[in-house]
């Protein structure tokens, strides 16, 4: 299957200053998000991209829009949030790092700068990493349906919001239940009271 994050720029002239705009609806080939909230697989990530030819490559400016879905960590209600991000990335024609630097990458010694650098593959820009990073950075690690969400009663699992203010449970303390059986059994009671 074709990678939907690839953008072919063959119609953008390779002269510095040339510009083209693209509107992409990317159907997420897999979920994009953090464990508790994300853009579901198959949902659309809208990308309004503007490409500009510059000397070293192609400069991408893009607005990303998607809807992420998850669950409130306190009450487990569904949470939906709109993600809007603006990104700007330079895709280089040629890597700036020469072979001496590339060798480094073979020694498990990950060169962050080299890893971060985006490069064109012929006419093609791969938008996957910048888009996924931008969406993930916009998402809360602990999503809430509302900042004020009161969560659930730990005993019955009902929402505090729907419960009366004086809601409580007669929780039977195990120590008391032992005593209760003593009180219920007259013979035991007699023995204990000696």
Residue ranges binding Zn ion (CB under 5 A): 72, 74-75, 77, 145, 149, 153, 155-156
Q: What is the DSSP string of 4-23?
A: TTEEE-TTS-SSTT-EEEEE
Nearer to Zn ion, 16 or 76 (CB): 76
Q: Tell me how far apart the alpha carbons of residues 32 and 49 are, in angstroms, rounded to a whole number.
A: 19
Nearer to Zn ion, 77 or 123 (CB): 77
User: % helix / strand / coil in the chain, to the nearest 5?
Assistant: 25, 35, 40
Question: In the complex with Zn ion, which residue's Cβ is closer, 164 or 178?
Answer: 164
Number of H helices, E strands in the chain: 5, 9
Residue with tokens 């040629």: 94
- Min. distance of Cβ 40 from Zn ion in angstroms? 20
Dihedral (CA of 140, 145, 146, 147) sign: negative
Least distance (Å) between residue 81 CB and Zn ion: 13
Give 124 or 163: the residue with its C-beta nearer to Zn ion: 163
CB of 65 to Zn ion, least distance (A): 25
In the complex, minimum distance from the CB of residue 75 to Zn ion, in angstroms, rounded to a whole number: 3
């Amino acid at each position: 299957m074709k990678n939907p994050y690839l953008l072919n720029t063959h119609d953008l002239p390779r002269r510095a200053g040339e510009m083209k705009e693209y509107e992409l609806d990317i159907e997420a080939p897999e979920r994009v998000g953090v464990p508790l909230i994300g853009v579901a697989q198959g949902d659309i990530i809208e990308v309004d991209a503007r490409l500009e030819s510059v000397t070293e490559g192609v400069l991408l400016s893009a607005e990303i829009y998607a809807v992420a879905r998850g669950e409130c960590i306190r009450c487990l209600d569904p949470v939906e949030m709109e993600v809007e991000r603006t990104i700007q990335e330079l895709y280089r024609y040629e890597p700036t790092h020469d072979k001496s630097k590339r060798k480094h990458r073979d020694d498990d010694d990950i060169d962050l700068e080299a890893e971060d650098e985006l490069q064109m593959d012929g006419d093609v820009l791969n938008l996957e990493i910048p888009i996924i990073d931008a969406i993930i950075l916009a998402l809360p690690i602990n999503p809430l349906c509302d900042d004020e969400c009161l969560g659930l009663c730990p005993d019955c699992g009902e929402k505090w919001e729907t419960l009366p203010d004086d809601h409580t449970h007669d929780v039977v303390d195990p120590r008391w239940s032992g005593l209760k059986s003593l009180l219920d059994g007259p013979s035991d009671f007699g023995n204990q009271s000696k």
